[in-house]
Amino acid sequence: MSIGTTLKSSIGAKALMAVTGIILVLFVIGHMLGNLQVYLGADALNAYAAKLQSLGPLLWVIRLVLLGTFLAHIIAAIRVVKLNRAARPVAYHQQKDQATTFAARTMWVSGVLILLFAIYHVLHLTVGVVDPAGTYGALDSEGRHDVYGMVIAGFQHWPTTAIYTVAMVVLCLHVSHGASSMLQTLGLRRPGNASGFDKVGPALAIFLLIGNLSMPLSILAGLVG
């Protein structure tokens, strides 16, 4: 069976979602760990940003791979949602959930919100189109992009921090179901490890929530910057 035929099947579509999900989760973790250097001060964060920029063509390769992964994840999600809606044309008058979670029931909603946030986030801190603090493009004393100054000024603006806070809660809701699901979809979840694997998603979500929210909230509170 070719990989194309595999992907066309329901399990193949889910596997594509799981594999792309793993790449996206690894990216989100790496992105957070990089950003946490904001606590090390302006020099550390600006040097990190300058190092990423100096990758040149490699940076573009990474960006394109991430974009492709993101698109494949979305396409697989649209297919699965369409398939699943078609599978129950007549709804129940009464249906009581026994096991599912809020996060699982709202995956497509959180997915759409994350897409909108990702667009906003790139426009805000990568491209500088949305720049309420007016600090995009400033240079530090060593002539590097002053990412630190931009982040501090950005999150001292409370509406920006509010948007990021909501977005992080939504992202973590998505990850809490998705990260456990991918283990089942790829066939790694077994009777012996099921209860442990089911905690992977929520644990990862809490880790991301604490790490990612600590930055804008501590900046808004004036603890950093």
Partner 1 sequence: MKLTLHVWRQAGPQDRGRMEMLQVDGITSDMSFLEMLDKANEDLIHDGKEPVAFDHDCREGICGTCSMVIDGVAHGPQEGTTTCQLHMRAFKDGDSIHIEPFRSRAFPVIKDLVVDRGSFDRIIAAGGYVSVNTGSAQDANNLPVRKKDADMAMDAAACIGCGACVASCPNGSAMLFVAAKMGHLAHLPQGQAERKERALSMVAQMDAEGFGACSNHYECEAVCPKEIPATFIGSMNREFLKSSLCPDS
Q: Which residues bind partner 1 (CB under 8 A)?
A: 1, 3, 5-6, 9-15, 80, 83-84, 86-101, 104-105, 107, 177, 180-181, 183-191, 194
Which residue number, 184 or 218, has a Cβ lying nearer to partner 1? 184
Give least dist CB 165 to partner 1, A: 27
CA atoms within 13 Å, Cβ hemisphere of 133 = 21
Give least dist CB 209 to partner 1, A: 21
Beta bridge partners of 145: 139
DSSP 39: G
CA distances (Å), 120 to each of 42, 139, 142, 175, in order?
24, 23, 29, 19
Residues 38, 217 contacting (CB under 8 angstroms): no
Per the structure block, which two tokens stand in for 137? 């493009």
Which residue number, 1 or 57, has a Cβ lying nearer to partner 1? 1
Give least dist CB 98 to partner 1, A: 4
Q: What are phi and psi of 196, to 5 degrees?
A: -70, -45
Which residue number, 13 or 113, has a Cβ lying nearer to partner 1? 13
Helix (H, G, I), strand (E, B) or coil at 136: coil
Which residue number, 22 or 213, has a Cβ lying nearer to partner 1? 22
Which residue number, 1 or 143, has a Cβ lying nearer to partner 1? 1
Which residue number, 17 or 42, has a Cβ lying nearer to partner 1? 17
* DSSP state letters, 155-183: HHSHHHHHHHHHHHHHHHHHHHHHHHHHH
CA distances (Å), 19 to each of 26, 96, 164, 182, 198, in order?
11, 31, 26, 7, 17
Separation of alpha carbons 146 and 137, rounded Å: 7
Give least dist CB 201 to partner 1, A: 10
Give least dist CB 189 to partner 1, A: 4
Beta bridge partners of 139: 145
Give least dist CB 17 to partner 1, A: 9
